[in-house]
Structure 1
């Protein structure tokens, strides 16, 4: 037999001592008793490391020792500290073509006191790894002892080698025991004939499958028989029955947690989930078996949410998570999307969700949860689960898949030959390099300001430019996402910045401009300077990119707007609170030192960016009167400033606010639009009908040749220009805007 190549030795610790080494195996012949993939398995040789067995890394403490009795050497693992793990770790190469292995050893266990769990004992754990160092399943079953032996005893196990396995992790251990000693000797790992093991495994798998099938059939029949009179699969869904008087509703587990309570208001009972401390989850767990033939289910319930403060991540909210299990209790990959809420409800509200059931599903696990929220109470009642018609869901899923495929647009490589010419400002005109006036008309393609991965981003840009004839896309972005500061990011913002770059490249390749909008509210702060230092350097002098320095300033003076100053703590709610995240609302409420709009402009110029900038006024960028009265910014060495107004149907005094600078500077309506559905944060009587307001607004734009980007090219970010992702225009806003972009003339009937 050829000798083994040298082993790599290293000591590790994991609640105790770990021994690590790697071995390469020789070629072998099945049945050759001299084959052993573990060198020095009898612990007798110490030629390489005197005083310690060769090829076994030396321990750093006394929990693992090399012992001798008479002429025999062995390895000893010893634990005196309760809960401690003492483990030897050896990584052994598995030669190509090895299909099955036999592990033989002798061990002696003395004074063993197992730990609290059934697997806290003396055991030999093993795992396979592939070439990439990843685990390959199945792992061999771990031989174990839970009591002391009568002297030395022989042990052996046979197991199959899974495809792709290249090494075996060999890990004898005293695993979190109270105390004890485990001695090991004469360890042999050798190849064996796989056929008997494969046959036994196949027979065992068949027997297990038959048993599971029989149990599954019985469970499905029982589930069918247990259907409630109203058709629900959930017994006691109204939470009223406590037949045994335990003070807890039948079928809903037991009251083991103080964060879940069975409450009563009048004659009505319900379950209440509440947080015990910020960031700690509270979850109810119930399983429901599914009868044969059920292809879809509808879960309905009543809920009341109060005092909810979301956690750090977007999904730290009130939600009902669900999983499907097969007959063996294994989770299936397909599972229903969790219904969720990130804000309080107005009392009790009815909710429902319908979803498809995979054929393999035997059980639905329902898990209402306050998922790592900061605070809140989640009340639940009248929970029902009923079979539903699958056909509409299947059709909808197919349509959604087709729509997603149709909406996909691969990122493009830059094609500078198609990019638009660089812009600059002269007086009140925006000109290209040839000195020709450019009229910027387009829309806001939103989603990157509230979704890390965007929503139909590239397709919307393509449709906006090619089908709607826009020559500019306003692209709102979130500074924290760009800088990689969001808790949900792990890449420092790399993926987000790449997505922004793809959007800009796509628009530029289609000959359009991009207005890069830092979508913030209030007053600029140091975070915004950080953003423009980075984004400004990234896109400096890009001919297609214009910088919208700060989305909507408000709530301060013109002096602080321009030059900065202390912004006091916000004492009452503002309009923006209706669409900011709880985290952003908390940040916005705190007092801080504002840096001013001039500092943002200076920042982009200091990084060498001459790009035209857009600057919004006060009152959520509506009011530009201060610009006309001495608070205009100074642009040294740049291509100029376009001032911006955001105008909606509740804004009045167009002439003195939005049009205050129209005779001196270029003016962009960066956000403009109207919705048939009234905004909750504005008095309804102040919101004009879009069918009268929109034509006049487009008439105003055309009369003064104002630059404009309509809000928004997204079916759920009001006011909406499109009905859905087919990009069908809304009749009250999008249809008018599309006609205007195509060149249709509108007349201004009256000013507001």
Structure 2
């Protein structure tokens, strides 16, 4: 998608309700007896909820506050109302009556001294939603003291644990994982304006805030990833662009603020140079970077990625989306064979009067700097057709590439049948990031179906767009910069995000 203008400027911060309960537990076997050779430990359980009225997401953190690692944990607690488990992550969840039980999985059953393990689940309910008060681990009640020294019971209440920076990421098999190898999904939004404001004389961010308050507003939606579209000429400061060093610094400052706040950044090359004189009548034909072109140009695109990669080298919490929505096959009379060859190899492409940079050129430009960041590559037909993506995947010495798929309600691949036959096989081989998605009527029905399908297949996804433009035809999430959701699309996506955990495995 391409950007639009906005002139509202507000930002407020909000926070989810939280309760922190100190607890202690013994490593136990059936019947509550301590396991052989296992030492007692002190722990803390932090319980937070994101409530949307008829349901809520519960997020729990179990911290080992003792001086020794523990191996194996089972958490139990009870609700006082009709809260009903729907689905859970980062643990084996079950419910009997009002009692909820969560056990560790193979990869998070051990908790080092001072370490924390997180789990979460979605619940439905009606009436009241009081917080639980009977947390226990391995059969021992949370009493707030180390059982080896005292039996005094204490309960404390604090705010939620402080968030750390976004994790460094890499590709492992068909998953994006953290540096420690834990699967991680990019769940969030695109934040448009970096691609158009500079060239349209609207400053850097079209009047929208990029301060800490605006980032905190995103966090009230449980946003963990933000995609930032960029303009090639503005970054390079060429052809009379008012960008250059000031534009680069603005991008760095915003990206660094997001990362420090626990939000992964995806930098996207969105608008590029190159005259598309024989394009359809509806398409912008200006050679300057004032619109979306079929393919990036060889004149500036590799310079752009060399510069961006150099600027963010060493920060693997930043992901590079190499080109927004390729569509070179249209210039070649919808010849997909020619289109995929142009996509990968660039050069002189049928129907395009400028020399293009292929995906292999862009991968090489990034890696030539020594940058190890994860790369995202969109397919043909505005990144909606992914059928030949694997066959044309560029070579990467780090094998650190994910597929970027865009799927709007008006695209050709917009049904479960297409997703099952075209996207699921790709997702079995490489990570798939739904880099943009939305629908054209400001509703949420299509987006709900797609997000549910993506959750079931462990895909990442980023909705378009976090800009208060007024939702008259779709793809606008917020009414203002403090994150007030648009009816339908915004309310639906916010509720969905609040029930997600980027560390969840499906």
Alignment of 1:532-571 (within 5 A): 532-556=305-329, 557-569=339-351
Supply the distance in 2 between the matched residues of 1:670 and 1:659 (Cα, whole angstroms): 16
Which structure: larger Rg?
1
Supply the distance in 2 between the matched residues of 1:482 and 1:707 (Cα, whole angstroms): 27
By how many angstroms is 1:457 displaced?
Answer: 4.2
* Residue 633 in structure 1 maps to residue 398 in structure 2: no
How far does the alpha carbon of each residue in 1:2-51 deviate from its partner, in whole angstroms, 9 at most, with x for none? xxxxxxxxxxxxxxxxxxxxxxxxxxxxxxxxxxxxxxxxxxxxxxxxxx
* Residue 667 in structure 1 maps to residue 464 in structure 2: no
- The equivalent of 1:654 in structure 2 is 419
Task: Describe the shift of the 1:654–1:464 C-alpha distance in structure 2 as closer, same or farther (beyond 3 A).
Answer: farther
- The equivalent of 2:254 in structure 1 is 503
- The equivalent of 1:597 in structure 2 is 359
Task: Describe the shift of the 1:612–1:488 C-alpha distance in structure 2 as closer, same or farther (beyond 3 A).
Answer: closer
- The equivalent of 2:194 in structure 1 is 448
Alignment of 1:20-39 (within 5 A): none
* Residue ranges of structure 1 left out of the alignment (5+ in a row): 1-341, 343-399, 409-416, 570-589, 678-689, 746-752
Aligned residue among 184, 190, 194 for 1:438: 184
Aligned residue among 725, 731, 734 for 2:487: 731
How far does the alpha carbon of each residue in 1:525-546 deviate from its partner, in whole angstroms, 9 at most, with x for none? 2211110011111111213211
Task: Describe the shift of the 1:461–1:528 C-alpha distance in structure 2 as closer, same or farther (beyond 3 A).
Answer: farther
1:672–1:711 Cα contact (<8 Å) kept: yes
- Count residues with an aligned counterpart: 301
Supply the distance in 1 between the matched residues of 2:244 and 2:12 (Cα, whole angstroms): 24
Supply the distance in 2 between the matched residues of 1:485 and 1:464 (Cα, whole angstroms): 34
1:461–1:507 Cα contact (<8 Å) kept: no
By how many angstroms is 1:507 displaced?
Answer: 0.4
1:445–1:712 Cα contact (<8 Å) kept: yes
Aligned residue among 408, 425, 431 for 2:171: 425
Supply the distance in 2 between the matched residues of 1:660 and 1:711 (Cα, whole angstroms): 25
Secondary structure in structure 2 of the residue aligned to 1:594:
coil
Secondary structure in structure 2 of the residue aligned to 1:626:
coil
Aligned residue among 222, 236, 248 for 1:483: 236
How far does the alpha carbon of each residue in 1:474-498 deviate from its partner, in whole angstroms, 9 at most, with x for none? 0111011101125351xx6121111
By how many angstroms is 1:636 displaced?
Answer: 0.4
Secondary structure in structure 2 of the residue aligned to 1:523:
coil
* Residue ranges of structure 2 left out of the alignment (5+ in a row): 14-162, 199-203, 272-292, 330-338, 502-506
Supply the distance in 1 between the matched residues of 2:181 and 2:388 (Cα, whole angstroms): 29
- The equivalent of 1:6 in structure 2 is none
- The equivalent of 2:304 in structure 1 is 531
Task: Describe the shift of the 1:494–1:559 C-alpha distance in structure 2 as closer, same or farther (beyond 3 A).
Answer: same
Task: Describe the shift of the 1:514–1:457 C-alpha distance in structure 2 as closer, same or farther (beyond 3 A).
Answer: farther
1:465–1:510 Cα contact (<8 Å) kept: no
1:622–1:657 Cα contact (<8 Å) kept: no
Supply the distance in 1 between the matched residues of 2:170 and 2:387 (Cα, whole angstroms): 23
Supply the distance in 2 between the matched residues of 1:647 and 1:549 (Cα, whole angstroms): 18
Deviates more, 1:665-674 or 1:730-739: 730-739
How far does the alpha carbon of each residue in 1:120-159 deviate from its partner, in whole angstroms, 9 at most, with x for none? xxxxxxxxxxxxxxxxxxxxxxxxxxxxxxxxxxxxxxxx
Task: Describe the shift of the 1:699–1:558 C-alpha distance in structure 2 as closer, same or farther (beyond 3 A).
Answer: same
Aligned residue among 725, 741, 752 for 2:497: 741
1:625–1:660 Cα contact (<8 Å) kept: no
TM-score by length of 2: 0.56
Supply the distance in 1 between the matched residues of 2:233 and 2:181 (Cα, whole angstroms): 37
Supply the distance in 2 between the matched residues of 1:564 and 1:530 (Cα, whole angstroms): 15
By how many angstroms is 1:723 displaced?
Answer: 2.1
Task: Describe the shift of the 1:473–1:406 C-alpha distance in structure 2 as closer, same or farther (beyond 3 A).
Answer: closer
2:11–2:217 Cα contact (<8 Å) kept: no
Supply the distance in 2 between the matched residues of 1:619 and 1:500 (Cα, whole angstroms): 28
1:508–1:514 Cα contact (<8 Å) kept: yes
Secondary structure in structure 1 of the residue aligned to 2:466:
coil
1:457–1:503 Cα contact (<8 Å) kept: no
How far does the alpha carbon of each residue in 1:295-341 deviate from its partner, in whole angstroms, 9 at most, with x for none? xxxxxxxxxxxxxxxxxxxxxxxxxxxxxxxxxxxxxxxxxxxxxxx
Secondary structure in structure 2 of the residue aligned to 1:698:
helix
1:443–1:464 Cα contact (<8 Å) kept: no
Task: Describe the shift of the 1:523–1:656 C-alpha distance in structure 2 as closer, same or farther (beyond 3 A).
Answer: farther
By how many angstroms is 1:720 displaced?
Answer: 0.3
Secondary structure in structure 2 of the residue aligned to 1:697:
helix
1:676–1:732 Cα contact (<8 Å) kept: no
By how many angstroms is 1:657 displaced?
Answer: 3.8
Task: Describe the shift of the 1:437–1:500 C-alpha distance in structure 2 as closer, same or farther (beyond 3 A).
Answer: same
Aligned residue among 474, 482, 488 for 2:227: 474
- The equivalent of 1:712 in structure 2 is 465
Secondary structure in structure 2 of the residue aligned to 1:608:
coil
Task: Describe the shift of the 1:622–1:658 C-alpha distance in structure 2 as closer, same or farther (beyond 3 A).
Answer: farther
